[in-house]
Structure 1
Amino acid sequence: MDFSTQPVLQVNQATIFQGLNPVLTDVNFSVEQHEFVFLIGRTGSGKSSLLKTLYADLELKSGVVEVAGFDLGTIKQKEIPFLRRKIGIIFQDFQLFNDRTVAENLSFVMKATGWNNKLKIRERMAEVLMLVGLNDALEKMPHQLSGGEQQRVVIARALLNEPSILLADEPTGNLDPDVADGIFKLFQEINKKGTAILMATHNHDLLRKYPYRVLKCENGVLQDSKTHDVSFGTSF
């Protein structure tokens, strides 16, 4: 893992689009390797579109964005899998293959990102499941796991390639509060080991409880708590 002094994520004068419509303009921020950053804003304010742009699911049409050493303005389609080896992506709705075991879900991602040694694949799967507290889940099907356990599998999947940064889109949104708290503590443990985290959330309690930096999407702009007084009352 690269712990250089360069920001792992740098955004300069970017415009973020939803389809043909710009939803955020003149976006400027960076995330350092060790940082934990919240991303907030009402539904439709541009949070998910920003995250999708950062992992190259949406095209960057304007501005300069560098993620884990990749320039998203010039990235080629064939290079996107290499970008996604350097970042971990975590979704609210899990996006697991329900007809495959946990092992098959994880190995699918590993093979898609260049792993081909069966022994090393098995070893790495065991390592990441141990990290998330699911040592005995390899042969289980997703429906045999609780929502919190499925989200732990998703986090394990995101950690397979030792990412520089995790991009998490409402990772606790569908979970009970107690389960969500456990998942959040897992994110904190991952962050303490040096992986940057950018987490979109609607969870007011997390924002009040943990004094991490906040980016807020509102009225077409992105406010940064490093430079603005960002409010997070009940309006997101």
Structure 2
Amino acid sequence: MNFSTSPVVSLRDVVIYQDVNTILSNVNFDIEKGEFVYLVGRTGSGKSSLLKTLYADLPLQTGIGSVSEFRLSKLPRAKVPFLRRKIGIIFQDFQLLFDRTVAENLSFVLKATGWKDKSKIKQRISEVLMRVGLDAAANKMPHQLSGGEQQRIVIARALLNEPVILFADEPTGNLDPMVADGIMQLFLEINNSGTAILMATHNYEIINRYPNRVLKCEHGKVLDSRVESFSLTNGF
């Protein structure tokens, strides 16, 4: 068991780029184990680019950063899969494989991250589907599920390797309010069990209903509600 007390995410003097353009500069924050943090900002403010840098989809070129004790600067491509095994990524557009069953989608990820024992793979799939309330969906095709159910499968997929943190990019953006609230309740249950969450959202109602620390991308900076006060209005 890992008893390390270091933050799950730590950024110091980081610059976030999209292609050659500077999107965010002088980014400094930590996320501790088990913390729930919202990431907000208007469209184009840098939220997705920041998340992509944290899960090593974009390179960290300036500053010092670490996620789950992996140094992001000059992280070799060969090391990225090892980082990804420590984190969970939840996309707004699901990115499920629509020619495979739910179980086959989840099995694909487990095999890609080094699982080989078929009985253990089957057991882990059953565990995560039960966790998200869809244990009866293993043999269904994604198109047979509602949008909310598909998002629960995406969350189950992100939980497969027991990540220390979930990075969620607008996970309720395509869902109606009642379904979005159910997804939020699921995130809170996951967080209460010890998994840190960084959730990018435009959903002002969810932040109001379930207040937590907020990081706000604005004018090329990342503001932190833990160290400075700023206003949050609908639309940010």
Gaps of 5+ in 1: none
**For 1:166-181, what aligned pairs fall within 5 Å after superposition?**
166-181=166-181
Q: Tell me which amino acid in the other structure corresponds to 2:183.
A: I
* Conservation of the 8 A alpha-carbon contact between 1:3 and 1:33: no
Match of 2:162 in 1: 162
TM-score calculated relative to the size of structure 1: 0.98
Q: How many corresponding residue pairs?
A: 236
- Which AA in structure 2 matches 1:231? S
Q: What is the aligned partner in structure 1 of residue 137 from structure 2?
A: 137
Cα-to-partner distance string for 1:16-36 (whole Å, 9 max, x where unaligned): 011110100000000000100
The amino acid that maps onto 1:57 is D
Q: Tell me, what secondary structure is at the counterpart of 1:42?
A: coil
CA distance in 1, matches of 2:20, 2:183: 35
Q: Percent identity?
A: 65
Match of 1:51 in 2: 51
* Aligned twin of 1:218: 218
Residue 172 of structure 1 aligns with an amino acid whose one-letter code is T
Aligned to 1:23: 23
- For 2:42, the equivalent position in structure 1 comes to 42
**Does the C-alpha gap of structure 1 residues 185 and 2 become closer, same or farther in structure 2, counting only changes over 3 Å?**
farther
User: In the alignment, is the contact (CA less than 8 A) between 1:214 and 1:230 conserved in 2?
Assistant: no
User: Are 1:128 and 2:128 counterparts?
Assistant: yes
Query: Which residue pairs with 2:117 in the alignment?
Result: 117
After TM superposition, the score normalised by the length of structure 2 is: 0.98
Which residue does 1:6 correspond to in 2? Answer: 6
Is the Cα–Cα contact under 8 Å of residues 3 and 194 in structure 1 kept in the other structure? no
Encode CA deviations 1:89-147: one digit per residue, 9 max, x unaligned: 00000000111100111011111111111110000000000000001111100000000
| 8 Å contact from structure 2 (residues 13, 63) kept in 1 | yes
**Structure 1 CA distance, aligned partners of 2:59 and 2:226?**
27
1:97 aligns to what?
A: 97
